[in-house]
Amino acid sequence: MRRRQAREDGVEEMERFDFIVLLNKIPTEGLERSYEIANPSGAGIDLAVPLEGPINADFEIQRLGNEIQVTGTVRATARLQCSRCLAPFAHAVAGSVEATFAPPPKLVEGDHQHELAQDELEVEPLVQGGADLRGVIAEQIHLNLPLKPLCREDCPGICPHCGRPPSRRRRCS
């Protein structure tokens, strides 16, 4: 079975299952996985921001009983718009990953609701016996975006009189 398909330009396409780590396939010494994702949407990674270039992710994966522990880093360059002058700019995004995947809690028969305990809030569910790393990758990109993106700290913003950005200002009246 072929896991990746080569495009005409020689670049390999990432498949959705390339990001799923099965609990029963993790050796006792653990795994290391590195990804360079040129097409996040094609790999099933949903992002709310456009990127410049690929996402780079490096993970160390350990099996702890019936849980999977994932640590690593996610790096990308987001294309943002300055909140002062509205100019587009590139912003480097980097996040550290520490995630635990575990089987979902068992529901008592007839109980359609389950109140999560504090320790369950920090655990991602194993899906079909595996950890899907796509959500972790998207989460780290979103969590490390600035709340108020600025092209530079001293950005003067748009002119309050003419509404033009600094590079296009002429004499305002």
**Residue 70, in any domain of the structure:** yes
**Residue 77, in any domain of the structure:** yes
d(CA 66, CA 72): 20
Number of domains, the chain:
1
Residue 66: CA count within 13 A, CB half-sphere: 9
For residue 20, the enclosing domain spans 5-107+116-168
Task: Read off the pLDDT of residues 5-38 as tens digits, 9 standing for 90 and up.
Answer: 444 444 445 455 689 899 999 999 999 999 999 9
Task: Read off the pLDDT of residues 147-160 as tens digits, 9 standing for 90 and up.
Answer: 999 999 999 888 88
**Residue 173, in any domain of the structure:** no
What does the pLDDT read at residue 121?
60
**Burial readout 41-64 (b: 16 or more C-beta within 10 A, e: otherwise):** eebbbebeeebeeebbbebebebe
d(CA 76, CA 59): 15
What does the pLDDT read at residue 29?
96
**Residue 163, in any domain of the structure:** yes
**Residue 17, in any domain of the structure:** yes
**Residue 87, in any domain of the structure:** yes
What does the pLDDT read at residue 27?
95
Q: What is the DSSP string of 20-39?
A: EEEGGG--TT-EEEEEEES-
**Residue 79, in any domain of the structure:** yes
Average pLDDT rounded to a whole number, residues 69-96? 96
**Residue 63, in any domain of the structure:** yes
Least confident of 36-40, 48-52, 157-161, 165-169: 165-169
Global pTM reads: 0.78
What does the pLDDT read at residue 4?
42
Task: Read off the pLDDT of residues 88-144 as tens digits, 9 standing for 90 and up.
Answer: 999 999 999 999 999 877 655 656 666 666 565 678 888 888 999 999 999 999 999
